[in-house]
Amino acid sequence: MGKHAVVTLLSDFGDRDIYTGVMKGVITKINPDVKLIDLTHQILPQNIAAARFCLMNAYAYFPEGTIHLAVVDPGVGSKRRAIALQFPQGYLVGPDNGIFSGILPQSPAIKVVELTNLHFWRTSQPSTTFHGRDIFAPVAAHLSLGVPLQDLGEEIDPQTLVQLDIGQCSQRENCLFGQIQYIDYFGNLVSNIPSSYVQEKNWYVQIGDLTIPGCTTYSAVEVGEILALVGSHGWVEIAVNSGNAQTKLQINWQDRIEVVLLN
């Protein structure tokens, strides 16, 4: 809080417009000492699942108390709730649309409020299309100054928060069944199969007729060759050494994959 407060920003605003810069202006006007760190603003427009994945894999690396401000908000101006919540590592601020539903099963909410206290908004008549600027950014800034969460609005039951239905991976004998939950800038295909299933085992990925060896580094195969490995986020990934697996394999978001365990 205060001098060392960190606010991260994640959105689907892209980098062409002033939306992100304006949110930073609003925050800095309220707390001139805050430290702002961009997670990404290149979430594909309105792709809540990608935003959920990014937040879920990022929060643990930030200082305790960090405030994560996330605005992927196709329902802005409708009845979706605006929320802020405290969890063990810090605070989350954004729309109640499932964007935080990757973090919370790992690190449950301590307290959740609906952002109903206009006193902490930028204006009592917020834009119907940009709550990031008029509600979420000022609320995050006030939290960074030490305003207690409960002052921001009415407490709500964490059980009522919107969940995003992401397929779970499953196991049948020595086969794991999962799907692609994220594709990164390099074209690496990130599945929803966690590393714990394959740790200290020999394994391969099967997609149709294609068998992809489970490795530990990109350079385990020749440049241009396909491999599978546990990626840096802790999930089974499919990659191409010095290449793009999405382009090479024509695999897409939500496509199914199968991992075969050998021992």
Write out the residues near a copy of itself by the rule CB under 8 A: 4, 6, 8, 13-22, 24-26, 28-29, 32-33, 35-43, 45-46, 54, 57-58, 61-63, 66, 74-78, 127-130, 133, 184-186, 216-219, 229, 231-232, 242
Alpha-carbon distance of 145 to 152, in angstroms, equals 13
Nearest to 182 by CA among 31, 20, 43: 43
Q: How far is the CB of 126 from a copy of itself (least distance, A)?
A: 9
Backbone angles phi, psi at 87, to 5 degrees: -135, 170
- The residue (of 75 and 158) whose beta carbon lies closer to a copy of itself is 75
Q: How far is the CB of 260 from a copy of itself (least distance, A)?
A: 21
231 touches 193 (CB < 8 A): no
Q: How far is the CB of 170 from a copy of itself (least distance, A)?
A: 26
Between β-strands 66-71 and 35-40, what pairing exists: parallel, antiparallel or unpaired?
Answer: unpaired
- The residue (of 51 and 169) whose beta carbon lies closer to a copy of itself is 51
Alpha-carbon distance of 211 to 115, in angstroms, equals 50
Q: How far is the CB of 37 from a copy of itself (least distance, A)?
A: 5
User: Which residue blocks in 41-168 are alpha helix, DSSP H?
Assistant: 48-58, 131, 137-144
253 touches 190 (CB < 8 A): no
Q: How far is the CB of 6 from a copy of itself (least distance, A)?
A: 6
- The residue (of 221 and 261) whose beta carbon lies closer to a copy of itself is 221
Q: Output the CA angle 241-244-247, nearest 5 degrees.
A: 140
Q: How far is the CB of 100 from a copy of itself (least distance, A)?
A: 15
Strand extents, DSSP E, the chain: 6-11, 35-40, 66-71, 82-87, 90-95, 111-114, 154-156, 170-172, 175-183, 189-194, 203-207, 210-215, 226-230, 235-240, 256-261
Backbone angles phi, psi at 27, to 5 degrees: -65, -45
Q: How far is the CB of 238 from a copy of itself (least distance, A)?
A: 13
- The residue (of 22 and 111) whose beta carbon lies closer to a copy of itself is 22
